[in-house]
Chains A and B, each alone.
Chain A
Amino acid sequence: MRRPLLIALAMLFAFAVIVLPVAAIFTRAFAEGAGVWLSAITAPETRAAIWLTILTALIVLPINIVFGLCAAWAIARFRFPGRRALLILIEIPFAISPIVAGLCFLLVYGAYGPVGAALQPYGLQLMFNLTGIVLVSLFVTCPFVVREVLPVLAVTGEDEERAALTLGASGWQIFSYVTFPNITWPLLYGAILATARAIGEFGAVSVVSGAIRGQTMTLPLQIELLYNDYNTTGAFAAATVLALLALVTLILRGLIAAFHPARGATS
């Protein structure tokens, strides 16, 4: 009696709030046929935006992995002064709104900021270009890998690493033979979440991108641009690309959760 009612209510809410918006994107994108959709996502500006987004993700991903592994190793395996503070600093980007994050970068690395002003005489500009986009993307994504890898590292394998040490393994050998196999799944999981976030980030990137058409527009920014140009089909076509990526992310996430029993924290 009560059970079907509650289930129906939950389904209805999820349908109206979550499913319908995504369905609306695809309906609008394909309203004028697949041909129009295809030409919309291959339009030069949109193509440039897709490429810039991929390029950003490709730069951010390896940096995130290296940083995440280093931070997780240092925090899980050693005790040092400031360890807790470091952990809090790494988590802070989750608590800061994207616009505020973008602003912070502008205040330091922009032309009027201390670092930006110091670099200007050398012709180095950090904001309103790819560098700026990469920097804020690193900010918004830096907690993901640490957050997934650290808990796993903290409960596994220190004994195994000590055993490897007494057997004569070097630091790198310990990491690659003994530690790494234990954290492959959480690392992959964190890296996927971080990449999805880097690809989709809007607010922080819009502050520092400079919004130069065909040059510093990532795909999420391009959607807004097309939409404000009244090119709705173009905007929705571009949105389908990101929506598909989001669905792929969710599927990968589900697959990893199935493989890796300790399901990672949702973030």
Chain B
Amino acid sequence: MPILQTPLDAVRRRRRSPLPGLGLTLGVTVTFVTLIVLLPLAGLGWQLAQLGISDYLFVMSDERTLAALRVTITAALLATLVNGVFGLLLAWVLVRYRFPGRAALDALVDLPFALPTSVAGIALVALYAQDGWIGSLLAPLGLQVAYSWWGIVVAMVFTSVPFAVRAIQPLIEELDPAEEAAATTLGASRWQTFRAIILPQLMPGILTGTGLSFVRSLGEFGAVIFIAGNIPYETEIASLLIMIRLDEFDYPAAAAIAGTMLALSLVLLVAINIAQTRLYRRFERGS
């Protein structure tokens, strides 16, 4: 009898909802998630486990791998910085001001989400190449964006700017204008009000927005490879190096780089999550 107790209890707990369909819907869901998400992820884990630590370190200490990671991470950092600043600006303008073209601007922000990355890629080359609208303006100044590290940054900014805007926007909507008015009556300047009253309250959004923007930039492939030039050691991003190792059938090397990228993304996402919870908690206590 005690042996049967546990499974019966488990069944009973599951059946608490009187609504039908648990078996069917959960069955479909678990099957799908296993085949489409879990198994592929396990595949990467398995490949990495077979690799062993010394082989992993060998792949990762390769000059070309290190260069690719450095190019990717530095470009993603700069792109994220740009997106943090302009994301905040766009979100602020969209929420606080009413002006002709506001609705269009709001819709435009989502365009990079909707535009396939390879389309974005060739569009950016067309724009920043020597004969492009912007490239031809920059050439006389001796600046080259297309086929350089700067091109990678531009492509990353384009594909990830919506993350920053959309994460900050709702927090600006929730700001209480009375707090700003109170600060003003207490003699704070506009800049002081922004620094002391507004910015701290927007921090959770800025953090999430820039964090997501950074993760997206790290993994961006389609938009970047058109404009990057893809010269090993200089403008070759990590995703492209994975592709190249795959074409050489060097699956272990590809898996090692991919595993590193994946771990980096997941660690960042978890960190954002934790930091965000803390920040929110602080506000709740304060209010």
A/B: CB atoms within 8 Å of each other: yes
- A binding-site residues for B, Cβ under 8 Å: 2-3, 6-7, 9-11, 13-14, 16-22, 24-25, 28, 63, 66-67, 69-71, 73-75, 77-81, 86, 89-90, 92-93, 95-101, 103-109, 112-115, 135, 138-139, 142, 158, 161-162, 165, 170-171, 174-175, 196, 199-203, 206-207, 219-221, 223-224, 227, 235-236, 239, 242-243, 246-247, 249-250, 253-254, 266-267
Alpha-carbon distance A267/B166, docked complex (angstroms): 9
* B110 partner residues in chain A, CB cutoff 8 A: 250, 253, 266
Q: Judging by beta carbons under 8 Å apart, are B38 and A250 in contact?
A: no
Evaluate whether A107 and B222 lie within 8 angstroms (CB atoms) in the complex, with A18-B111, A99-B243 already known: no
Evaluate whether A107 and B162 lie within 8 angstroms (CB atoms) in the complex, with A6-B93, A202-B116, A235-B122 already known: no
* A18 partner residues in chain B, CB cutoff 8 A: 108-109, 111-112, 158, 161
Q: Judging by beta carbons under 8 Å apart, are B126 and A108 in contact?
A: no
Q: Judging by beta carbons under 8 Å apart, are B265 and A21 in contact?
A: no
Alpha-carbon distance A108/B251, docked complex (angstroms): 12
B interface size (C-beta, 8 A): 90
Alpha-carbon distance A81/B6, docked complex (angstroms): 14
B24, B42, B222: the one within 8 Å of A202 (CB): B222
B89 at the interface (CB under 8 A from A): yes
Q: Judging by beta carbons under 8 Å apart, are A202 and B93 in contact?
A: no
Q: Judging by beta carbons under 8 Å apart, are B46 and A107 in contact?
A: yes
Q: Judging by beta carbons under 8 Å apart, are B123 and A239 in contact?
A: yes
With both chains docked as a complex, state the minimum distance between the C-beta of B7 and any C-beta of chain A, in angstroms.
12
With both chains docked as a complex, state the minimum distance between the C-beta of B225 and any C-beta of chain A, in angstroms.
8
Q: Judging by beta carbons under 8 Å apart, are B36 and A104 in contact?
A: no
With both chains docked as a complex, state the minimum distance between the C-beta of B170 and any C-beta of chain A, in angstroms.
10
Q: Judging by beta carbons under 8 Å apart, are A107 and B126 in contact?
A: no
* A25 partner residues in chain B, CB cutoff 8 A: 119, 122-123, 126
Question: For window 230-263 of chain B, which residues contact chain A by CB distance below 8 Å?
Answer: 239-240, 242-243, 246, 251, 254-255, 258, 261-262
B22 at the interface (CB under 8 A from A): yes
The 8 closest A-B CB pairs, nearest first, are A97-B219, A200-B116, A108-B43, A171-B20, A104-B40, A202-B222, A21-B123, A107-B43
B73 at the interface (CB under 8 A from A): no
Pull 6 A–B residue pairs with CB atoms less than 8 Å apart, ordered by A. Answer: A24-B126, A74-B21, A74-B22, A97-B221, A107-B47, A250-B111
B118, B220, B242: the one within 8 Å of A220 (CB): B118
Evaluate whether A86 and B43 lie within 8 angstroms (CB atoms) in the complex, with A98-B219, A99-B219 already known: no
Q: Judging by beta carbons under 8 Å apart, are B20 and A174 in contact?
A: yes
Alpha-carbon distance A203/B16, docked complex (angstroms): 44
* A17 partner residues in chain B, CB cutoff 8 A: 86, 157-158, 161
Alpha-carbon distance A247/B43, docked complex (angstroms): 37
Q: Judging by beta carbons under 8 Å apart, are A11 and B25 in contact?
A: no
B226 at the interface (CB under 8 A from A): yes
Alpha-carbon distance A66/B269, docked complex (angstroms): 29
Q: Judging by beta carbons under 8 Å apart, are A86 and B30 in contact?
A: yes
* A97 partner residues in chain B, CB cutoff 8 A: 218-221, 239, 261-262, 265
Q: Judging by beta carbons under 8 Å apart, are B105 and A10 in contact?
A: yes
Given A13-B89, A24-B132, A100-B44, 20 new contacts (CB under 8 A): A6-B93, A10-B86, A11-B101, A14-B105, A17-B161, A18-B161, A70-B25, A73-B25, A78-B14, A89-B37, A100-B262, A104-B258, A105-B40, A162-B18, A165-B19, A202-B221, A203-B221, A242-B119, A243-B115, A249-B114
* B28 partner residues in chain A, CB cutoff 8 A: 66-67, 70-71
Which single residue of chain B is at the shortest CB-CB distance from A201?
Answer: B116
* A235 partner residues in chain B, CB cutoff 8 A: 122
* A96 partner residues in chain B, CB cutoff 8 A: 219, 262, 265
Q: Judging by beta carbons under 8 Å apart, are A11 and B44 in contact?
A: no
* B39 partner residues in chain A, CB cutoff 8 A: 108, 115
* B46 partner residues in chain A, CB cutoff 8 A: 107, 114
Most buried by A among B14, B118, B161: B118
Evaluate whether A103 and B242 lie within 8 angstroms (CB atoms) in the complex, with A96-B219, A142-B37 already known: yes
Alpha-carbon distance A202/B37, docked complex (angstroms): 18
Q: Judging by beta carbons under 8 Å apart, are B42 and A90 in contact?
A: no
With both chains docked as a complex, state the minimum distance between the C-beta of B83 and any C-beta of chain A, in angstroms.
10
Q: Judging by beta carbons under 8 Å apart, are B126 and A78 in contact?
A: no
B90 at the interface (CB under 8 A from A): yes
Q: Judging by beta carbons under 8 Å apart, are A106 and B246 in contact?
A: yes
Alpha-carbon distance A244/B151, docked complex (angstroms): 25
Alpha-carbon distance A219/B117, docked complex (angstroms): 12
Alpha-carbon distance A70/B105, docked complex (angstroms): 36
Evaluate whether A220 and B38 lie within 8 angstroms (CB atoms) in the complex, with A24-B127, A107-B43, A165-B18 already known: no
* B54 partner residues in chain A, CB cutoff 8 A: none
With both chains docked as a complex, state the minimum distance between the C-beta of B51 and any C-beta of chain A, in angstroms.
12
Which single residue of chain B is at the shortest CB-CB distance from A113?
Answer: B43
Q: Judging by beta carbons under 8 Å apart, are A101 and B40 in contact?
A: yes
With both chains docked as a complex, state the minimum distance between the C-beta of A255 and any C-beta of chain B, in angstroms.
11
Alpha-carbon distance A200/B115, docked complex (angstroms): 7
